[in-house]
Amino acid sequence: MGTKLVLGLWSLLCVVSLASSKAIVSCKDKTTCRNLRIITSNSNEIPSGLAQHRQSAESIDLHGNLMERFFGQDVGTASQLKALNLSYNLLKDDLQAIGNQVQEIDLTYNQLRYVMVPRGVRIFLAMRNKLSRVTFAGTIVEELNLSKNQLDRIPDISRQSKMVTLDLSCNEISEVNFDYLPRSLSYLNLANNRIFQTSGDRILSSLQYLDLSSNILTIVDKSFNSVPNVKELYLQNNEIVMITTEKTFSSLKSIDLRENDWDCNSLKVFIERNNVRKLPDNPSCKYGSLGTNGLCCIQSSAPYADRVIRYNKRQHEALQNSSMHQQRGPNCANYKPSPCDGDDNKVYEVANAAANDVQSLVAQDKEALQGILNQQRYLLENKQNEKARIENENNQLQTTLNDLTGYIGKLYQDDGFKVPAKPDEQLKQIFTKRDADNKATLEQVIEEERKLQNLQEDIAKIEEELQDLDYRKERLLGDINARNATVVEHEKKIKELQEKIDKRG
Ligand SMILES: *[C@@H]1O[C@H](CO)[C@@H](O)[C@H](O)[C@H]1NC(C)=O
Ligand SMILES: *[C@@H]1O[C@H](CO)[C@@H](O)[C@H](O)[C@H]1NC(C)=O
Ligand SMILES: *[C@@H]1O[C@H](CO)[C@@H](O)[C@H](O)[C@H]1NC(C)=O
Ligand SMILES: *[C@@H]1O[C@H](CO)[C@@H](O)[C@H](O)[C@H]1NC(C)=O
């Protein structure tokens, strides 16, 4: 355990120093950056990391940094800041300069001895510190958890008129006066203190949960009339002998009376009056024997006198036992951890976990950088490919150019040029010459076309004449036919005449 811890711490220091002297700031909610996680060993380094998020930050998580000091002016005054988590550090001094906009502060697992709850705070958590004094700058605290501290009295919460939840378990408180508790209180945990006396008569009508277990109460007296509506009442592991209040607790849902020093009669009366049905099992009796209700109790005519004698005997025995302990050392087999024992290494464990956070944050950054690098590589590769392609194209173009230059050179020579010239000059000359040639050719073509047109006109004329000739021929033929007909007619007549002549003759 020890070496592991030391190694862990060593790696933490390494990582933190590796991460340069600047605080590591990351946004838990990537884009909006309202919830910041800051890893640093010194709150003086925070401003540099926080600067860009000052306007947006609504919660700042500084847990597990092993910070010994906290200067609030740079963090605690961020304009939108509502929640500040300073748990698992090594803070010794009271907080400085927390702005009134901060509503929730978690100081669990630090080394604080005194703290003043800042004015705007509604939820204040400072479990497992060394607090012996707590004061309030304001009056609006709703939830206060000071479990596992060194308070020897209930802090002055008489002005906290909005307080609903109060946890003062595992302290060194010896008395409760209900008159100084706010009426708004609904949950009150005073378990594991040294309470031997309750007093007061203020009616806390909202109180539903009251835990007074593991104290040294000997009596439940009429001060309990202050909690008429209690639903859950925990009184186990005290030295209670009697209940003297005649009050009926009509809202009771759950009650624990085990591990006390009950007088059987008193217990019976209370259980019957309050109609208590279900009680937790009581496996073995510290005092007395198992009674009708399943609770241990002692039948006695003088309950207190008996017990005074017994307590004296026990003290004597305890003295003897402790001198035995000194001789033989503690009996480890019988050691039962108290619920108030804090794991003192916890703060280092959490800091180690935070160091892993650093590593994972760094790893994340590295991963992101690697991603960018890969992208760059990919781009570079693309560019290289493109370059190769362009070079290839260039080579091809060069070849084509060479071919072309050769070709032009040849044309140049063919066209009868002799004076050496650059290819483009050559080309120009060739084109000029070709243009001239083309012009001549064009003129020739036009001439030919003109001739052709004349020819066509001649042909047309001839065709016309031919048509005319045809026409005349047709007419001539008609005439001939007509004359032939006439001739034929004449011949016929001549023939007739001849025949007639012949007959006369
Ligand atoms: C503060 O941080 C600790 C460690 O991460 C966490 O367990 C705790 O719930 C946080 N406190 C609040 C009020 O969120
Ligand atoms: C107060 O803190 C203790 C220790 O962390 C925890 O067990 C308890 O539940 C808290 N009380 C309330 C009311 O949340
Ligand atoms: C003292 O020691 C005895 C035996 O070891 C044990 O039974 C007894 O409960 C102890 N008394 C006290 C008050 O611790
Ligand atoms: C004229 O007419 C006759 C009878 O119709 C015919 O036999 C003859 O060939 C014709 N002569 C000519 C020149 O057309």
User: How do the pLDDT tens digits run along the chain, 505 residues long?
Assistant: 333 333 333 333 323 333 344 667 777 776 677 888 887 766 666 666 676 777 888 999 988 888 888 877 677 678 889 999 999 988 988 887 788 899 999 999 999 999 999 999 999 999 999 999 999 999 999 999 999 999 999 999 999 999 999 999 999 999 999 999 999 999 999 999 999 999 999 999 999 999 999 999 999 999 999 999 999 999 999 999 999 999 899 999 999 998 898 998 888 899 989 888 767 766 778 788 887 778 888 888 877 777 777 777 777 787 777 776 655 544 555 555 677 876 767 777 887 777 777 667 667 666 666 666 777 778 778 887 878 887 787 777 777 777 777 777 787 788 787 777 787 787 788 778 877 877 888 888 888 888 888 888 888 888 888 888 888 888 888 888 888 888 888 888 888 888 888 887 6
Q: How far is the CA of 318 from the centre of ligand 3 (A)?
A: 7
- Half-sphere exposure at residue 89, Cβ-oriented, CA atoms within 13 angstroms: 27
b/e map 135-162, b = 16+ CB within 10 Å = ebeeebbbbbbbbbbebebbbebeebee
Ligand nearest to the CA of 482: 4
Nearest Cα residue to atom 13 of ligand 1: 106
Ligand 1 atom at minimum distance from 125 CA: 13
Nearest Cα residue to atom 14 of ligand 1: 85
SS3 of residue 154 by DSSP: coil
- Say if ligand 2 is within 6 A of residue 429 CB: no
Cβ-defined contacts of 42-47 (< 8 Å, 24+): 42/67, 42/69, 43/67, 43/69, 43/70, 43/71, 43/74, 43/75, 44/71, 44/74, 45/21, 46/74, 46/75, 47/74
Ligand nearest to the CA of 489: 4
Mutate to test the pocket of ligand 4, among 484, 487, 489, 490 (most ligand atoms within 8 A of CB): 484
Give the model's pLDDT for residue 48.
63
- Half-sphere exposure at residue 335, Cβ-oriented, CA atoms within 13 angstroms: 8
Q: Counting beta carbons within 10 angstroms of the beta carbon of residue 173, is it exposed (0 to 12), middle (13 to 18) or buried (19 or more)?
A: buried
Which residues lie across from 61 on neighbouring strands?
37, 85
Q: How far is the CA of 487 from the centre of ligand 4 (A)?
A: 8
Nearest Cα residue to atom 1 of ligand 4: 484
CA torsion through residues 217, 294, 187, 106, sign: positive
- Range 151-305: architecture per CATH: Alpha-Beta Horseshoe (3.80)
Give the model's pLDDT for residue 14.
28
| Tokens read off for 157 | 């919460």
Give the model's pLDDT for residue 215.
94
| Tokens read off for 492 | 């016929």
Give the model's pLDDT for residue 189.
98
Nearest Cα residue to atom 12 of ligand 4: 484
CA 75 – CA 44 distance, rounded (Å): 10
Ligand nearest to the CA of 107: 1
- Half-sphere exposure at residue 69, Cβ-oriented, CA atoms within 13 angstroms: 8
| Tokens read off for 388 | 């190769």
Which residues lie across from 198 on neighbouring strands?
176
| Tokens read off for 462 | 């001839």
CA 46 – CA 21 distance, rounded (Å): 10
